A and B are shown apart, each in its own frame.
Chain A
Amino acid sequence: MSSDWPLWEVFVRARGGLDHRHVGSVHAPDAGIAIRHARDTYTRREEGVSLWVVRSNEITASDPSEAEEMFEPAASKIYRHPTFYDLPDEVKHM
């Protein structure tokens, strides 16, 4: 049994108006310390204005080996894209 502290994934918002983005992970016994460690580890040079931490084992991920089936339907439904529709040139900027 490992005595490592639980793992937390770290997300940083670089500045207002942008999404939080995954940057890495830290070990910490609780959320408060995870935030402090995340600050010291990932934002020493003003890389962000906001931090999220979430326990790694609370994340459910899709299976990479099933990526093809999982994302294939998007490719076959080309009518979901605006370029599928052929419009006369007179209709500008639609």
Chain B
Amino acid sequence: MYTTELDKKAADSRVVEVGIDDPQQLARFEARVAADDFIEPNDWMPETYRKTLVRQMSQHAHSEIVGMLPEGNWLTRAPSLSRKAILLAKIQDEAGHGLYLYCAAETLGVSREQMIDALHDGSAKYSTIFNYPTLNWADIGAIGWLVDGAAIMNQVPLQRTSYGPYARAMVRICKEESFHQRQGFELMMHMVNGTPDQREMAQDALNRFWWPSLMMFGPPDDKSPNTERSMRWRIKRDTNDDLRQKFVDATVPQAELLGLTVPDPNLRWNEERGHYDFSPIDWEEFYAVVRGEGPVAQERMQARRKAWDDGAWVREAAASYETKHASARIAA
């Protein structure tokens, strides 16, 4: 069956606590993964593989959901009907991406409710980028261009991640992300070709989103202890630093095309390496945001919990409608 049912999960997790991976099973698993075979929900897998995936996929799903909040703030202030329709479609996609990922994570035996609860009580993480404020309209362009651009860098290789449901969700997501990034870049083009004020807004958005976007790829490889195992299990296909470099290399020429200045005095093309060199990243800032000290972390979670609580009556109404009809069916 595609999706693990909830009551089965309770039994599973008991096994987990006492069980140690069987060496034969583990060897067979490692061989399958090394041969680029996909692992499917009911296949045997090491417990650490399952846990790593649940963490990674649920964080990914949460990021999609929380990512709607900074954009939602701008819906009623979009400068034209067309921009509003585009933004609305993008936000709807983000909700869809969250749902693809939640349902893929559920195949590993974690329930939707557990994941949502973990997000709301603060025990689950989401991308640090969403704990920065969106101060001007160009931020919406910068998010599409840089934040979705960084997400694409990260997600394209995940289409070949070893866990089947995750890989399939990523295929669908990647198809849609391209629209997100292109509309963002196009929005930036309008801003830089507009009035001096608009141009300044675009530069200001790049100044604020550049470094947080680079941080989205996660800690540097020497501070990322699980990378080696995740690469061996094909959960990750590239290291954080490799993806970050790829993003910088792809994005700097785009900024030049816009006539904007990347806020890094040490940024320059290194002929020998064939890559851009850039300044060291302020990892203290990154870890502070991970700890929940981002500029708008509290506001984001308050808005998220409020949206959930405000929607409770809809969920309750739908459930009692079904109960009423179910009892009518039994009576009939």
Residues of A within 8 A of B (CB): 2-5, 7, 9, 22-30, 33, 40-42, 44-45, 56-57, 59-61, 63-65
Cβ-based interface call for B20 (8 A):
no
* 1/0 contact string of B155-181 vs chain A (CB within 8 Å): 000000000000011001000100000
A5 touches B319 (CB 8 A): yes
Residues of B within 8 A of A (CB): 1-3, 5-6, 40, 42-44, 89, 92-93, 96, 99-100, 103-104, 106, 111-114, 168-169, 172, 176, 315, 318-319, 321-322, 325
B6, B44, B99, B113: the one contacting A41 at CB < 8 Å is B99
B5, B40, B92, B318: the one contacting A44 at CB < 8 Å is B92
Secondary structure of the B side of the interface?
A: helix
B6 touches A60 (CB 8 A): no
Taking the closest CB of chain B, its distance from the CB of A94, in whole angstroms, is 36
A22 touches B2 (CB 8 A): yes
A-B contacts, 30 of them at CB < 8 A, read: A2-B6, A2-B112, A2-B114, A5-B318, A5-B319, A7-B5, A7-B103, A7-B106, A9-B3, A22-B2, A23-B172, A24-B100, A24-B104, A25-B3, A26-B99, A27-B112, A28-B318, A29-B319, A30-B321, A30-B325, A33-B318, A44-B89, A45-B176, A56-B3, A61-B1, A61-B2, A61-B42, A63-B42, A64-B44, A65-B44
